Each structure stands twice: as structure tokens, then as C-alpha cells.
Structure 1
Amino acid sequence: MVDTSANRPDAGGTTGTQSVDRALQVLLQIAESPPPGLTLAACSSILGYSKPTTLRILRTLEARQFLRFDEELGVYTLGVATVQLGSEYLHRLDLRRAALPAMRALVDETQETAHLGVLSGTDVVYIELVDSPHPVRVFSRVGAAVPAYATAIGKAILAWTPAEARTEHISHPLAARTPFTLRTDEALADDFIATRERGFAIDNQENREGIRGFAAPVFDFQGKVIAAVSIAGPSTRVMPEAAGELGARIVATAAEISASMGAPRSAA
């Protein structure tokens, strides 16, 4: 499509943008207001316009299905077009692309390796990673799959997965990957409870001996856990006493990624 904007009258100017801004302003106010919606008088007050002028804006938004007028209650609420736009935006979100800036910042802060992983059957698959700058670091690769029950990422996802759905993501028997691997359902269940209470999961050398990591869940726009992000390094550097500090950082990173995926603030 050829862009003809340069040929339009007043190209580069701001003619009419105030009306567009006011329309968007009232749309956002209605979205943020509690049910059932906003009256014409309330919208007029927000915009600072007269009721006739405000009504023209509202009717335009209604005609385009961005707003819906409830005849019985006399209020304006969001229309179906907002749902369509939101769904299309969320459909186009790329989890890896959304997570990468936050993961890079996490590695800059901690100097350890960051992973982003998702569940695939009974395994966790790494879909993104940012390496530590240290010469001695965790060796891993995108596409690698490891048992979910033995990793911080897997346990972070499973802890926020409904209990009735967890069993299909936990392989049995629980093979000992290291001497520290949790090998009973009871031990895992207790670990999931502790994970939710603290907000992040701990891999205490359970997948690879000599490697310790922390992971927190990532949520989508429905508040459903879809992935987890972790920080991991040699147990000689990533010490148990650092759990509080590194745990808080990984939780903040996961929250940042979740927000970029449209997650509600109350998701965690």
C-alpha cells in the first residue's frame, strides 16, 4: 500500500488530534472504571466537554463497537471491538522477544546465566537463555529438555499449575539425577507449597550436581502460568544464603515479563 500521508492537507500537523486524544481518554477511563460503566455526565466531566459534544464522541465510539450503551442502566461500557483488538495484540506477543530484555538485565545484575523455559509433557524445554559473562558458568542450550520435577523452572511452573493437572507433567519413577533430587511425590508436594509461599522455586543441585538455581513463574493475560524464568550458576558462587536476594530479583524479572504478556497484577 502506498503511503499518501505526505499529500494530505496539513500533513505533519496535529489538526484533529485533540478529539482523538479525548476519545481515547474516555475509552481508557471506562476501561478502568468499576462496573457497570460510566454515564454520559461522568464522561462529560472527564473530558471537560459539554454533554452534546461528549455524546457525539461516545456515539462515534459506539458505532465502531469500541463502546456499548446499556439502555437499562444508562451507562457506557467497553464494546466488542476492544476485545478483538486486545485478542489480536495478545496473539502477536512473542514470549521470547518479550522476555529477552528483562533476562539480559537480570544477567547484568547477577552475572549468572538466565533461562526461560516452558513445559512440554514431563520435561522443561529451554526456549531462551542469556549466558553469564564468567568463564565458569552453567552450560546449556536452547531446545534442551530436562525433567520438570528436577529443575527450578519446572517446579516454578508446576507449583502454579492446578494440582489435578500436575500429574501429567511429572514422570514416574522420579529418577535421581543427583543425590539431591527430590524422589517422592510427598517431597515434591511440600516443595510446591514452599515455592508458592516464597514466590520462587529452588533447584538445590537437583538436576546437576554443583549447579544451584532459582526460578519464578511467568503468567499470560488470563493469569495462567505459561513459563518460568531462572537464574543459575555454580553452587560455589550461587550460595544458599543468597536465596533471598536472588529470589527477589528473579520474582521481579518474572513479574516484568508477565506484565509484558498482559498478565493481571494479581496473577502470582
Structure 2
Amino acid sequence: MSERVISTGGLTSAERVTGTQSLEKAVDILEYIAAAPRPGVTLAECTGILGFSKATTQRMLLTLTRRNLLHFDEELGVYSLGMLTAKLGSEYLSRLDYRRAALPVLRDLVAESGETAHLGVLSGKDVVYIELVDSPQPIRMFSKVGDSRPAYATAIGKAILAQLPGDVRRTHLPESLSGSTARTITSFEQLYLDLAQTRDRGYAIDDGENREGIRGFAAPIFDFTGNVCAALSVGGPTARLDAEDAKRNFGDLVARAGRRVSSVLGAPEELLG
């Protein structure tokens, strides 16, 4: 059966797209606007992304705006994310049981360490922070819920990657490893060695690999199936987290925290020892 084509009334054949293609283009626009700097994106910029005519692009933007997925600022002439995206995102996050299970543990981590604690999940080749508790200290690691980072260059990402089968792990890595800092691992051989060490000791270390001057430690979280589903971390300025002291104190701290959350989620006993 051929796909139904949306009525396009006067559009060129290049602009006659299926419903699926239109939906994909709409998602492209939402992702582009979400990643764009404030205050937003103009119609002309959106037209360039879609590759449609100005009129076709405007119709799509009007639909997204009418459904509150986008907001149009008439004074500035730019589009930004609408209230419905916040509502949908909030609803999605509220349904993540491990987020609720981890929050009190993150608070305890901050109380014990004095540093910022994160909860993150794997999303494609990135890690996305879905919860965090800030350090009370004025000089600290700054981030926000929804931030994403390359999985291979973060403690949370490496804690998760270390628990995955090799073929699955490879799908969450880019074709090549680029350096965010001078300390980022850029060799697959070195990365796989790091992941093996991570698995053996029970926690991952980000030694300034994602951000200069920031050291982080992360441990995996397992669900009732015994599969890794997330990881939590604690991190802060290297000036406060001396390498050797931090390994002794923070590594064990996050490993215990990871086991606490895993226990709440019903992980098998052999993963909690």
C-alpha cells in the first residue's frame, strides 16, 4: 500500500512529502530550536533547515506554535520551545522510577561529599542528565537537567558503557573519539582498557576528560532485570578532589550509592555485593 500524501495545494513535487517525512522535519525543527542559543530562531533559519519554501515552513511552524510545541515572539520575530515541550518532558521524567529512587541518594552524596551529584542515562552516543543536586559551595561544577555530553568522555557514560556487551557498547560510541580537553581519551584501545578497569573496580573516573579542572566519579545503577539502566556521579574542581584521596573516598562513596539505588529498583543480589 502506498503512503498517503498530505494535500499540498500548489506545492512543487519536491515539497510534496509524506506524513512521516513531515513529522521527521517537525522533529528536526524542534531539535534545532532546542539547541539554538537564546532568544530563538527566525523563520529564515528554519526554512534553511527544512529545505522547503518559506510558505511551507511557515505553515509547519504555525501548526507547532498552535499546539504549544513552539512559542513565537512577535517583537523579536523568533521561535523558541513552547510550554507543551516542558510539560511532555516533565511527564516523561516523572515516569522514570530510577529518577525518584535516586534523588534521596543524590542528596546524601552531596551532604557527604560537598560536591555536585548527577543522575544520567545513555541516549544514543551521549549521556543526558535527568536529575542533579548542586553542591552548596560557590565554586562548583555547573550543569542542568537535560544537558548532554559524549558518553565516552564522562564518568557517568563510562560507568554505563563498562557494563554493556561489546557489540551494544560500540553502537553508543562515535566513529572516532575527539578530545574535549587535553585529557580526553581519544584512542579506542585506551578507552576499552579504561572501561575494563572501571568494571573491575566498580566505578568510573573522569579525570578532566569532559571539562578542564573537573574530576568526577560515577557508579552504575542496575534495574530488576540486572541490566544497567543509569549511573550516578559526584564531581567537582580538581583543586578540592585530589586524585589519590578522591579515588579512595569518592570512588567507594559513589559505588555504595549506586548499590543503594539498584537495591531500591530490585536489582539481583549478586550485583549488590
| TM-score range normalised by the length of the shorter chain | 0.5 to 0.7
Structure 1 unaligned regions, length at least 5: 1-91
CA distance in 1, matches of 2:256, 2:145: 23
Paired residues of 1:106 and 1:253 also in contact (CA < 8 A): yes
Letter in 2 for 1:219: F
Residue in structure 1 matching 2:99, options 85, 96, 99: 96
Taking a change above 3 Å as real, the CA distance of residues 141 and 93 of structure 1, as seen in their structure-2 partners, is closer
CA deviation vs aligned residue, 1:200-223 (integer Å, no higher than 9, x gap): 000000000100000000000011
Aligned to 1:54: none
CA distance in 2, matches of 1:246, 1:133: 17
- Equivalent residues in 2 for 1:4-43 (5 A)? none
Tell me the TM-score normalized by structure 2.
0.64
Matched, 1:105 2:108: yes
CA distance in 2, matches of 1:247, 1:132: 17
CA distance in 2, matches of 1:201, 1:263: 20
CA distance in 1, matches of 2:124, 2:263: 26
Aligned to 1:227: 230
Taking a change above 3 Å as real, the CA distance of residues 93 and 122 of structure 1, as seen in their structure-2 partners, is closer
Paired residues of 1:224 and 1:267 also in contact (CA < 8 A): no
CA distance in 2, matches of 1:111, 1:245: 12
1:183 Cα offset (Å): 0.3
Residue in structure 2 matching 1:168, options 162, 166, 171: 171
CA distance in 2, matches of 1:263, 1:198: 19
CA deviation vs aligned residue, 1:67-108 (integer Å, no higher than 9, x gap): xxxxxxxxxxxxxxxxxxxxxxxxx77111110001101100
Aligned to 2:127: 124
Matched, 1:258 2:267: no
Question: What do you get for the CA RMSD once the two structures are aligned?
Answer: 1.1
Aligned to 2:160: 157
CA deviation vs aligned residue, 1:38-59 (integer Å, no higher than 9, x gap): xxxxxxxxxxxxxxxxxxxxxx
Tell me the TM-score normalized by structure 1.
0.65
Letter in 2 for 1:265: E
Secondary structure of 2:271's match? coil
Secondary structure of 2:185's match? coil
Percent of pairs identical after alignment?
A: 56
CA distance in 2, matches of 1:202, 1:93: 25
CA deviation vs aligned residue, 1:12-65 (integer Å, no higher than 9, x gap): xxxxxxxxxxxxxxxxxxxxxxxxxxxxxxxxxxxxxxxxxxxxxxxxxxxxxx
CA distance in 2, matches of 1:152, 1:172: 20
CA distance in 2, matches of 1:112, 1:144: 18
CA distance in 2, matches of 1:217, 1:259: 12
Size of the alignment, in residue pairs?
177
Computing the radius of gyration over CA atoms, which structure comes out larger, 1 or 2? 1
CA deviation vs aligned residue, 1:111-154 (integer Å, no higher than 9, x gap): 00000000000000000000000000000000001000000000
CA distance in 2, matches of 1:186, 1:93: 34
- Equivalent residues in 2 for 1:63-212 (5 A)? 94-212=97-215
CA deviation vs aligned residue, 1:152-175 (integer Å, no higher than 9, x gap): 000000000111111110112211
1:267 Cα offset (Å): 2.3
Secondary structure of 2:120's match? strand
Paired residues of 1:93 and 1:261 also in contact (CA < 8 A): no
